[in-house]
Structure 1
């Protein structure tokens, strides 16, 4: 990812990319390594996207929107549920009878989160922020995604400060593991 533009354009492009991956997953009739590779790709993108939102978008939501604390807390709770599902899927064999139902639950949860952000949160941020603020947030999101972890870490602190301190190190370790194993290279 890393599409350019303001924060809304950047995050919407990420959403379309994940939706396209979901479509490819739904079209798969078999499991095995092909499905594992696709789920790994989705995991990488969702984790990077979530970390970047938690570091920069949600703090801006708290500052710029009248009900920003409640909105940001709800979005972070959504991310926590998704991250726990990703962690479960990471440890499961694709042939496990509970793999596909959990994967469908993940896709449903992410799809609802995307719809909520695009229909509610993003328009509120576009009204509340200047174009320069939205552009600056887009730049910060792109930089954060480049350094973010690629694997779910549901036990990691979710505060923006802790994430900014810990995510680059976790991201480096995750990317090294991915390089050695070939994960995410399909």
Structure 2
């Protein structure tokens, strides 16, 4: 049962929509604006996956009767997306293969999001108390603040790895982002 207050599922669903919108905006943009939008997409995907790996997937594994069967494919999809996103980041938006690879990543991420929505999110609402899902929104904000802003495919997709390695990587990423942004005007 859904309450009037937003819960973690509402927030993740909203991010799924935002991710789809950003994919479309990146595909349509050109030049520096395209790069700017792509960096926004990279940051959102990195934070989003950290939240899911730290909070949602462990909850689904624990609470869903078939959680141990549902979650591993989602983690594998996230790992593949991180690897491709890192490759795209290294290629840059001006590379001739960028648009095709972005389209392939968009399709994979969209299919992944739909699977999460069907096999995890909707079912979590059936088995987890609404108050707990609402309270996880605060945890989501905390994890988001400590999450890297770039994909790190070498970090295992586990809550413990995200909690241990996420904060130092987040600091490193945010410094790199600040330096990148500062040198744009130079």
TM-score w.r.t. structure 1 length? 0.90
Identify the residue that residue 48 of structure 1 maps to in structure 2: 47
Q: How many corresponding residue pairs?
A: 179
Q: Aligned partners of 1:114 and 1:98: how far apart in 2?
A: 24
Cα distance, 1:181 vs structure 2: 1.2
Q: Aligned partners of 1:169 and 1:60: how far apart in 2?
A: 24
Confirm whether residue 65 of structure 1 aligns to residue 64 of structure 2.
yes
Identify the residue that residue 24 of structure 1 maps to in structure 2: 25
Cα distance, 1:34 vs structure 2: 2.1
Cα distance, 1:80 vs structure 2: 0.4
Cα distance, 1:94 vs structure 2: 2.3
Identify the residue that residue 152 of structure 2 maps to in structure 1: 153
Q: Displaced runs of 4+ in structure 1, greater than 3 A?
A: none
Q: Aligned partners of 1:27 and 1:35: how far apart in 2?
A: 8
The CA RMSD measured in Å over matched residues stands at: 1.7
Confirm whether residue 10 of structure 1 aligns to residue 11 of structure 2.
yes
Q: What secondary structure sits across from 1:91 in the alignment? A: helix
TM-score w.r.t. structure 2 length? 0.90
Cα distance, 1:120 vs structure 2: 3.0
Q: Aligned partners of 2:57 and 2:135: how far apart in 1?
A: 14
Q: Aligned partners of 2:79 and 2:53: how far apart in 1?
A: 11
Q: Deviations over 1:144-169 (max 9, x none)?
A: 01110001110112221121111011
Identify the residue that residue 105 of structure 1 maps to in structure 2: 104
Cα distance, 1:16 vs structure 2: 1.5
Cα distance, 1:73 vs structure 2: 0.9
Q: Which runs of 5+ in 1 are unaligned?
A: none
Q: Which runs of 5+ in 2 are unaligned?
A: none
